[in-house]
Amino acid sequence: KAGVTQTPRYLIKTRGQQVTLSCSPISGHRSVSWYQQTPGQGLQFLFEYFSETQRNKGNFPGRFSGRQFSNSRSEMNVSTLELGDSALYLCASSLRTGESFGANVLTFGAGSRLTVL
C-alpha cells in the first residue's frame, strides 16, 4: 500500500511569509504526527492529530498550527516565517487504535524541506 505522502517536497520562502504543508497518511491510519528536524535540535515534536482532534502539542509558538481532515489527511501551517524555521518537516502516521496509544509505531513520509531566506 502507498506510504505517507508529503507535499511539497521542497520550498523556499522569505521571512514574514506563511507556508502550508500537506500530509496524506497511510490508508487506514487515523493518527498524524508532525516533527521538525534541524541539524542542531534533532527531531522536535510539533503536534499530533487523531480523528480531526489535536491530541498533543509540542513546545512551539502559536505561529505553528495544524489540522486534520475527515479523511485523516493533515496540514500544518507556519505563519510569519523566521529564518530559524528552516528545517525538514516530517509527517508520520500510525494506527493509534483505541485509547491505548503507546504501542503504535510511526511511519514517516519523506518530509518537506523548507528554506526561509
CB-nearer residue toward other proteins: 34 or 81: 34
- Kindly write out the interface string for residues 97-116 of this chain, putting x where it contacts other proteins by CB under 8 A and - elsewhere: ----xxx-xxxxxxx-----
3-class SS letters over 42-75: EEEEEEEEECCEEEEECCCCCCEEEEECCCCCEE
- Residues in 10-69 that interact with other proteins by CB under 8 A: 33, 35, 42-43, 45, 48, 55-56, 58-59
Instruction: Provide the CB-side half-sphere exposure for 102 (13 A, CA).
Output: 1
CA distance 37 to 89: 6
CB-nearer residue toward other proteins: 17 or 51: 51
- The binding site for other proteins (CB under 8 A) comprises 33, 35, 42-43, 45, 48, 55-56, 58-59, 90, 92, 101-103, 105-111
